[in-house]
Amino acid sequence: MLKLEQVHTHYGAVEALHGVSVEVKEGEIVTLIGANGAGKTTLLMTICGTPRATSGQVLFEGKDINTIPTHLRMQQGIAISPEGRRIFPELTVYENLRMGAFFAGNAEIEERMEFVFNLFPRLKERFEQRGATMSGGEQQMLAIGRALMSKPRLLLLDEPTLGLAPMIINQIFDIIRQIRDRGVTVFLVEQNAHKALQVADRGYVLENGSVVLEDTGANLLKNDAVRKAYLGEL
Ligand SMILES: Nc1ncnc2c1ncn2[C@@H]1O[C@H](COP(=O)(O)OP(=O)(O)OP(=O)(O)O)[C@@H](O)[C@H]1O
């Protein structure tokens, strides 16, 4: 579904990704782990097109999307729940969700809203509440729900459990599984390596802008280098 081949991304003269190749197949949950500053957010944003890859290919369903602008990539079926959630604090839950389906007609919005409320009953209960007044976990649910409102085939999640309490973290991982089971492919960036690899079909380890390991989630959990650097074991 998604294939990055030898992708290089720069911020000005500084190269943040040094020839990264990553694949996400339809129906998978793929996890990307890595230390602070490794380039995880840059990788997700390169898929979205801000910034664009300076060389290499970003293929979505076989087509190179690197030359098309971000909003057209979204129209092709990619959505992101960004780092830090970036919900609209002054808007209500309902209004935030509508912003995620900007180009859809009313009937379609209702259908998508039902899909989101089914996954997140809490959002339905609070649909008139302003974003800013929601708890961290609720805001994260709203950010994921808003991304789902564009009816993506590929959902990119950037650190969805950052700063949340353990119980909420478990809920979010449970919801990620449910999203995949309902037909949306997931590419997940996480610092919470243990849970993120548990939920993953496959995973990648990014270090200093390069992929250094790739394997099934189960094998990465057993890998000595991963256990030492990312799981606090050994
Ligand atoms: N807008 C920017 N301008 C210049 N350099 C940037 C910019 N955004 C990120 N970088 C640099 O690119 C590198 C990768 O950053 P990135 O945010 O992708 O890492 P990350 O793995 O997501 O880290 P974190 O887990 O801390 O979010 C870092 O060296 C960072 O300083």
CATH number at residue 9: 3.40.50.300
The chain-wide mean pLDDT, for the chain, equals: 93
- For 28, the domain range is 1-77+190-234
Q: 143 burial class (0-12, 13-18, 19+ CB within 10 angstroms)?
A: buried
Counting from 1 in the atom list of ligand 1, the atom nearest the Cα of 44 is 18
Q: 60 burial class (0-12, 13-18, 19+ CB within 10 angstroms)?
A: buried
55-71: pLDDT as tens digits: 999 999 999 999 999 98
Tell me what the mean pLDDT of segment 157-165 comes to. 92
Per the structure, the count of domains in the chain is 1
Q: Kindly give the distance from the C-alpha atom of residue 44 to the centroid of ligand 1, in angstroms, as a whole number.
A: 11
Query: Two tokens at 163?
Result: 């700063």
The ipTM of this complex is 0.93
Round to whole Å and give the CA distance between 33 and 111: 34
Q: What is the pLDDT of residue 232?
A: 84
Counting from 1 in the atom list of ligand 1, the atom nearest the Cα of 38 is 21
Q: Look up the pTM and report it.
A: 0.94
Q: What is the pLDDT of residue 82?
A: 87
In this structure, is residue 146 part of a structural domain?
no
In this structure, is residue 228 part of a structural domain?
yes
172-196: pLDDT as tens digits: 999 999 999 999 999 999 989 999 9
Band of residue 38 on the pLDDT scale cut at 50, 70, 90? very high
User: Could you tell me the CA-to-CA distances from 136 to 43, 86, 87, 89, 161 in Å, in that order?
Assistant: 25, 12, 11, 12, 9
Is the Cβ atom of 9 under 6 angstroms away from ligand 1? no
Is the Cβ atom of 34 under 6 angstroms away from ligand 1? yes
Mutate to test the pocket of ligand 1, among 8, 17, 20, 40 (most ligand atoms within 8 A of CB): 40
In this structure, is residue 172 part of a structural domain?
no
Band of residue 106 on the pLDDT scale cut at 50, 70, 90? confident
Tell me what the mean pLDDT of segment 227-232 comes to. 90
End-to-end CA separation in angstroms for the chain = 36
